[in-house]
Amino acid sequence: MIKFILNNQTIKTEKEEGSSLLDFIRTEMHLTATKIGCREGDCGACTVLEGSLVNGILTYKSIVSCLTPLVNADGKHIVSVEGLNLDGLSPVQNAMAENSATQCGFCTPGFVVALTAHLLSSQNSAAVDSLGGNICRCTGYKSIEKAAVKVDELKQVLLFGSEIEQMIKKGWLPYYFSGIEKRLAEIETIKTNMDGILISGGTDLMVQQADSLRHEKIARAGDFVSDKVAEEDGTIKIGAGITVNDFFRNGLIMEHLPQLSDFLPLIASEQIRNMGTLAGNIVNASPIGDISIMLLAFDSRLVLENKDSEQRQLALKDFFVSYKETSLKPDEIIKYILVNTDMDMNFNFEKVSKRTYLDIASVNTSLGITVDNKLIKEVYFSAGGVAAVPKLMSQSSGFLKGKELSIPTLESVLPVIKSEILPISDIRGSSRYKSLLLRQLFLQHFLKLFPDEFEQKDILNIMTTNSLYDEEY
Amino acid sequence: MMKNIDSSGHLRGESIYVDDIRELGGTLHAVPFLADVAHASILSIDYSRAKNSKGVIDVLTAGDIPGENQIGGIINDEVLLAEDKVHFIGQPIAIIVANSHYEAREALHLIDIEYQELEIITDPRTAKEKGSLLFPARTFKSGDVDKAFADCEYVFSGKADSGGQEHLYIETHASYAIQLERDNIKIYSSTQGPTAVQKTVAQVLGLSMNDVEVDVTRLGGAFGGKEDQATAWAVMAALAARKLRKPVKLVLDRADDIIASGKRHPYSSDFKIGLDKNLKIKAYKVTYYQNGGAVADLSPAILERTLFHVANSYFIPNTEATAYSCKTNLHPFTAFRGFGGPQAMFVIESAIALSAEMIGVERSLIQEKNLIRKNDRFHYGQSCDSNNAIKSWDKIYEKFDIISEIQRIRKFNSDSVFIKKGFSLMPVCFGISFTKTPMTQARAMVHVYQDGSVGFSTGAVEMGQGVNTKLMQLAAKAFSIDIQRIKIESTNTSRVANTSPTAASTGADLNGKAVLIACREIRKRLEEVAAEVLEADAGEVAFVDGEISTIRKNRGLSWEKLVETAFLKRVKLSEIGHYATPLIHFDKNTERGHPFAYHVYGTAYTSVVLDCVSGVYKVEDVKIVHDFGNSMNIGIDKGQVEGALMQGIGWMTMEELKYDDRGRLLADSLSKYKVPDIFSAPEKVDILELETEGPELAILKSKAVGEPPLMYGIGAYFALRDAVRSFNPASKPDFDAPFTAEKTLLALYAVRNKK
């Protein structure tokens, strides 16, 4: 039996573990503020808060209920707008009202929840950054931006680290929130069995297979895979069940891979990053998986474990076999991701998609590079969207290794890059576009990482005189 | 400033949309079975497995239709359910009704259908060549275009294409039909056109219109996508409810909505433009190939509006414009904010851009020299009644110092290797009225209750544009009472009949005038009662903030007391106001007339910043001078401008409907069809009002605002083109919107790499 708290109500339900939380909220509980927009996590109209005890401390984040299998609500506090309503408008609602940030109103509850999640969190980013997963088709967003600025002001007065308490005290949250921490601690959560369909955040499986998952027994990844990060003997051992946001915001990651943090916004949206896990992004094996492309440039390894708890290690680059096929055996799961702590590289990530945020890349690429005395000592160049798998560009990387960091080097590696890729034309772009784009982004890595080593004009010269792509025009 | 009356309900999640209506016991759920091939004969269909599937109650097909299997809004060319042939992917063939939505959906996979595929056409020009048109072409002409070309200093020809656009209202199509006693049926529908639903339900079910009640509280976005396109789904729910005598709900999954429902028409066009040596446009000849999809839907009206907006804000003395509505094997194309106008404007702006590039002058110079002036005639005969085009142009230069802005951009570009900026100016002139004159009418029913509260109904549908708020403002003003005392009812065909859809930006004008007429009638009667009570002449009675008094005797009489007195005196406290827009007419034989009540003008300045390494861009700054008339709610109106602008920018930049040659929409989900998110919004949007008096035919002289600002978004396209050419002056990208990141990158490196 799945047990959780929905707003102020304790829920005990035998509904299907793999059915969506959104349907439960609307159909079973008749709470209709949470809207159905797209059922693929791309519009945010179904955004709810998920509260859970993290090291015993109540913590809230925004998630999309459409992609949340009901079993993932087990032991959590789920909050819809109904559960945030006060007698009058809440400060977040008021910020929206004062700035005329609602027109047709259908997306509005999702925005209110997303902004409230931001206010509740101990993140010091701007409120607007929490809204990347919410689509509004009416307002043109300028009014919503103003509301978000108002939320930033509200956040200023909350003492860092005790946001929830203070919001209750100020009357910004319903009083029942004060009892949630205790109530959650008392819930006896279920433990799923490994022989079901393994699902972690649900951000892919619930899009692709929502209908069939309703009938399946679910194995909740959280019951089997750690989400903790540890440092052991010069290796960072990342529990593969960690969500993307938790990964990027983890203290050890920020300490050892500080280069990553700038690129967080380019991955999915706040809600999806709160749900999707590293293992999920890797095992999905999408040729444009952002996490895979990043981790390839850190020469990452995977720890795989079978049902007899036998483990083996595999380089991430060897994990991807062909389109959506991996070396994972049927009874194996990804348990950990390993990165060496001495990966003291220059790192850059580039991603181009039709829309810059919350979109799937046409091409994404990472470059991890160490340069010593003008010589390229170590280099890991990865690219997505140009082959059937997220690809470590081994030949290009090998070509670059040991060469001088210079314009002729960059120029001479371009044919190697071209020879290593085979992009296809699809909804994300034509093959010639992807070829050209990868060349551009490859050079962009160097423009960004070595602004003092290269004259922009010289790079421009490579782009405009290089005959590599001529035959295609 | 009056806020949207729905604001609090929206923010608290308490506003009710169709899918939120608490279901009656026994409610069934319907899911349409849609064609999976674009053009085919149906050889056989076997529903037996589906019918035996768990929870399935019935599968309805064309054979279950008691009336006509016909839902075409303008032309009778669209069946509700396919019989022996299918013409587009997504065409409804059957309706599965089950105890739950999921059970209905699961049965979809159990339908065994065999098709014989037929030739598929997706391209409008191919359709035209093959003689596949939805209805005959139309041509609008003025002056003598051929003679004028002969006298031109410059003549240029080109091609301009603009893509379609998915509305992506966040609320998908939804309807809930309840069979009542006798033949009566009530339908809650997410439609902009309740009367269209009512009429079509009656036609398909073999009922009279008075048997059918359609009720609309609000829509979760529409933008034209629920004008005619909502009808089919409502009729399906009604058909099932009637056959099964149970309430039936049909709410489309996004996946179905996006492949099956209509979108903005893609256009491919050929133009020829002629200018004299002073850069005056003397002649313009254009042929539009409208991709009309497989059925006409509203295409005839949309094509007509394209022909009205051939010249955008410019006066061109000699024009010839021909438009073909090409029948293809794609889903219907339908109304979308701007309604064919944006497509026409994109072509003339392309023609001007090409001219400027060929002659070697700034595009804005040609634009400015040709803006339409008072007493110039539009090519369809109506006389231009203002200098607002020029005034908005001048004001944007003056108030925003556009000259300096442009200098800053040029300076920036000369200092920057890889980041380039671009700018554009985009004037807009958009005609307001349904161009089909019989649609320019509306009614309102107003009740003053004996306690002094007021309730009223109109034909206007609230979809976020704030029409209900404006209408309540009008009623409050008419009675000089607090808006809290007023309630606007849902839009219901049993209260207000024969309504026009809420479309063409006319919702507030038409329905508002009707509200005022009804309120004034009631007020007149109340004034007489007041005069009697106050022992004065009716003309001396003044209504101020809920108090009635006379100038002579300042004896206060409250609104409530007055209403109560009137009721006791058996005075009629209800009224139906009827309004028909005067003056307008149009003769389709000569393609001449006075089709618009008035025009809305404005000018936008847009700047973009383009990363010339990656082709990624951002709209930086949009400055707009817009002709609101005398806005009755500037907060709501500016919200409309901001929202329409964003949609226009989306249409011109990232929103790309891609199909394969089998007629399949590839951009068939939100993960593939990208609409602007909050980070795609221009960094800065400034909107200034053009101080104009506003025409009498606009409600309280407050001009219609829904559609015109969408076309400011076209400026983003030309600003991007400017940025691309700053990096690569040799690049002459095709005029082919949207200007996606792919097209910018290819344009940045296209010509230069060719040796």
pTM of the model: 0.97
A355 to chain B, closest Cα gap in Å: 6
Over residues B556-581, the pLDDT tens digits come to 799 999 999 999 999 999 999 999 99
**Closest residue in A to B683 (Cα–Cα):** A142
User: Cα dist. B694→A204, B276, B515, B701 in Å?
Assistant: 53, 34, 19, 4
Among partner residues B219, B740, B749, which is closest to A463 by beta-carbon distance? B749
Q: Please answer yes or no on whether B8 and A97 come within 8 Å at the CB atom.
A: yes
Question: Domain check: are B732 and B619 in the same one?
Answer: yes
Written as six digits, the tokens of B596 are 């618009």
Give a yes or no: residue B155 inside a domain: no
**Taking CB atoms and an 8 Å cutoff, what residues of chain A touch B169?**
104, 106, 137
* CB count in 10 Å sphere of residue B132: 17
Give a yes or no: residue B715 inside a domain: yes
Domain boundary among B580, B603, B619: B580
Give a yes or no: residue B257 inside a domain: no
**Taking CB atoms and an 8 Å cutoff, what residues of chain A touch B417?**
456-457, 460
Query: Counting Cβ atoms within 10 Å, is residue B219 exposed (0-12), middle (13-18) or buried (19+)?
Result: buried
Mean pLDDT of A158-177: 94
Q: Please answer yes or no on whether B642 and A360 come within 8 Å at the CB atom.
A: no
B23 to chain A, closest Cα gap in Å: 10
Residue A344: pLDDT band (50, 70, 90) is confident
Q: What is residue B465's three-state secondary structure?
A: coil
Interface test mutation site (partner B, options A137, A367, A448, A449, max chain B beta carbons within 10 A): A137
Written as six digits, the tokens of A291 are 């996490």
**Closest residue in A to B665 (Cα–Cα):** A427
Question: Which residues are within 8 A (CB) of B124 and not within 5 positions of it... i.e. 6 or more apart?
Answer: B266, B267, B268, B289, B290, B291, B292, B324, B326, B328
Among partner residues B16, B170, B672, which is closest to A137 by beta-carbon distance? B170
Strand-pair category, B248-251 with B28-34: parallel
- CATH 3.10.20.30 domain extents, chain A: 2-186
Q: What is residue A163's three-state secondary structure?
A: helix
Q: Please answer yes or no on whether A40 and B218 come within 8 Å at the CB atom.
A: no
| B681-706 CB burial, b ≥16 within 10 A, e <16 | bbeebebbbbebebbebbbbbbbbbb
The ipTM value here is: 0.97
Give a yes or no: residue B220 inside a domain: yes
**Closest residue in A to B464 (Cα–Cα):** A104
Q: Does residue A226 surpass a pLDDT of 80?
A: yes
- Amino acid identity at B517: I
Domain boundary among B549, B580, B611: B580
**Taking CB atoms and an 8 Å cutoff, what residues of chain A touch B674?**
353-355, 359
Return the pLDDT at B441: 96
Among partner residues B635, B675, B754, which is closest to A135 by beta-carbon distance? B675
Residue B553: pLDDT band (50, 70, 90) is low
Q: Please answer yes or no on whether B669 and A103 come within 8 Å at the CB atom.
A: no
**Closest residue in B to A104 (Cα–Cα):** B464
- CATH 3.30.390.50 domain extents, chain A: 346-472
Question: Domain check: are B599 and B689 in the same one?
Answer: yes
Q: Please answer yes or no on whether A106 and B17 come within 8 Å at the CB atom.
A: yes
Contact by Cβ (8 Å): B207, B201: yes
Question: Domain check: are B699 and B743 in the same one?
Answer: yes
**Closest residue in A to B2 (Cα–Cα):** A100
Residue B173: pLDDT band (50, 70, 90) is very high
Q: Please answer yes or no on whether B220 and A80 come within 8 Å at the CB atom.
A: no
Over residues B366-395, the pLDDT tens digits come to 999 999 999 999 999 999 999 999 999 999
Return the pLDDT at A472: 44
Question: Domain check: are B573 and B598 in the same one?
Answer: no
Over residues B517-543, the pLDDT tens digits come to 999 999 999 999 999 999 888 888 999
Between CA B395 and CA B387 the distance in angstroms is 12
Over residues B196-242, the pLDDT tens digits come to 999 999 999 999 999 999 999 999 999 999 999 999 999 999 999 99
Question: Domain check: are B468 and B427 in the same one?
Answer: no
Return the pLDDT at A473: 36
Between CA B689 and CA B372 the distance in angstroms is 19
Within B620-736, residue ranges assigned H as helices are 634-652, 714-727
Question: Domain check: are B570 and B594 in the same one?
Answer: no
Between CA B675 and CA B679 the distance in angstroms is 11
What is the residue-averaged pLDDT of chain B?
Answer: 96
Question: Domain check: are B641 and B538 in the same one?
Answer: no
Give a yes or no: residue B539 inside a domain: yes
Report, in angstroms and rounded to the nearest whole number, the Rg of chain A calculated over CA atoms: 23
Interface test mutation site (partner B, options A6, A70, A106, max chain B beta carbons within 10 A): A106
Question: Domain check: are B397 and B288 in the same one?
Answer: yes
Asked: is A197-340 a CATH 3.30.465.10 domain? The reply is: yes
**Domain A2-186 is of which CATH architecture?**
Roll (3.10)
Give a yes or no: residue B152 inside a domain: no
In DSSP terms, B319 is beta-bridged to B142, B284
Question: Domain check: are B276 and B293 in the same one?
Answer: yes
- Count residue pairs from A and B with Cβ separation < 8 A: 249
Q: What percent of chain B has pLDDT over 90?
A: 96
- Per annotation, catalytic residue among B103, B213, B575, B707: B707
Q: Does residue B754 surpass a pLDDT of 50?
A: no
Q: Please answer yes or no on whether B17 and A35 come within 8 Å at the CB atom.
A: yes
Between CA A455 and CA A285 the distance in angstroms is 37
Q: Please answer yes or no on whether A104 and B639 come within 8 Å at the CB atom.
A: no
Domain boundary among B251, B286, B311: B251
Which of B343, B493, B490, B508 minimizes the C-alpha distance to B432? B508
**Taking CB atoms and an 8 Å cutoff, what residues of chain A touch B221?**
104, 106, 137-138
Q: Please answer yes or no on whether A469 and B753 come within 8 Å at the CB atom.
A: yes
Over residues B83-108, the pLDDT tens digits come to 999 999 999 999 999 999 999 999 99
Q: Does residue B507 surpass a pLDDT of 70?
A: yes
**Taking CB atoms and an 8 Å cutoff, what residues of chain A touch B465?**
103
A456 to chain B, closest Cα gap in Å: 7
**Taking CB atoms and an 8 Å cutoff, what residues of chain B touch A66?**
none
- When divided into structural domains, chain B yields a total of 3
**Closest residue in B to A103 (Cα–Cα):** B464
Question: Domain check: are B703 and B645 in the same one?
Answer: yes
Q: Does residue A468 surpass a pLDDT of 50?
A: no
Interface test mutation site (partner A, options B677, B683, B687, B751, max chain A beta carbons within 10 A): B677
Over residues A58-98, the pLDDT tens digits come to 999 999 999 999 999 999 999 999 999 999 999 999 999 99
Mean pLDDT of A256-279: 95
Q: Please answer yes or no on whether B753 and A456 come within 8 Å at the CB atom.
A: no
Give a yes or no: residue B15 inside a domain: yes
Among partner residues A132, A430, A460, which is closest to B678 by beta-carbon distance? A132
Among partner residues B6, B218, B642, which is closest to A142 by beta-carbon distance? B642
CATH number for the domain including B515?
Answer: 3.30.365.10
Among partner residues A30, A135, A441, which is closest to B170 by beta-carbon distance? A135
Q: Does residue A471 surpass a pLDDT of 70?
A: no
Sheet containing B318-327, strands listed edge to edge, beginning at the edge strand earlier in sequence: B133-142, B318-327, B281-293, B267-275, B154-162, B735-737
**Closest residue in B to A144 (Cα–Cα):** B678
Q: Please answer yes or no on whether B679 and A429 come within 8 Å at the CB atom.
A: no
Fold annotation for A346-472: Enolase-like; domain 1 (3.30.390)
Question: Domain check: are B284 and B408 in the same one?
Answer: yes
Compute the 3-state secondary structure of chain A and give helix, strand, coil in percent, each to the nearest 5: 40, 20, 40
**Closest residue in B to A463 (Cα–Cα):** B749
Mean pLDDT of A189-202: 92
Among partner residues A103, A214, A440, which is closest to B643 by beta-carbon distance? A103
Among partner residues A144, A362, A467, which is closest to B678 by beta-carbon distance? A144
Question: Domain check: are B389 and B456 in the same one?
Answer: no
Return the pLDDT at B751: 65
Among partner residues A108, A354, A362, which is closest to B11 by beta-carbon distance? A108
Q: Does residue B753 surpass a pLDDT of 70?
A: no
State yes or no: is B707 an active-site residue. yes
**Taking CB atoms and an 8 Å cutoff, what residues of chain A touch B23?**
none
Give residue B389's domain range. Answer: 267-434+590-753
Q: Please answer yes or no on whether A30 and B685 come within 8 Å at the CB atom.
A: no
**Closest residue in B to A137 (Cα–Cα):** B169
Over residues A406-422, the pLDDT tens digits come to 999 999 999 999 999 99
Interface test mutation site (partner B, options A30, A94, A104, A207, max chain B beta carbons within 10 A): A104
Between CA B99 and CA A27 the distance in angstroms is 13
B49 — phi, psi (to 5°)? Answer: -65, -40
Interface test mutation site (partner B, options A42, A86, A103, max chain B beta carbons within 10 A): A103
For the ranges A181-190, A337-346, A364-373, B438-447, which has the lowest average pLDDT?
A337-346
**Taking CB atoms and an 8 Å cutoff, what residues of chain B touch A437?**
614-615, 745
**Taking CB atoms and an 8 Å cutoff, what residues of chain A touch B106?**
211
- CATH 3.30.465.10 domain extents, chain A: 197-340
Return the pLDDT at A305: 97
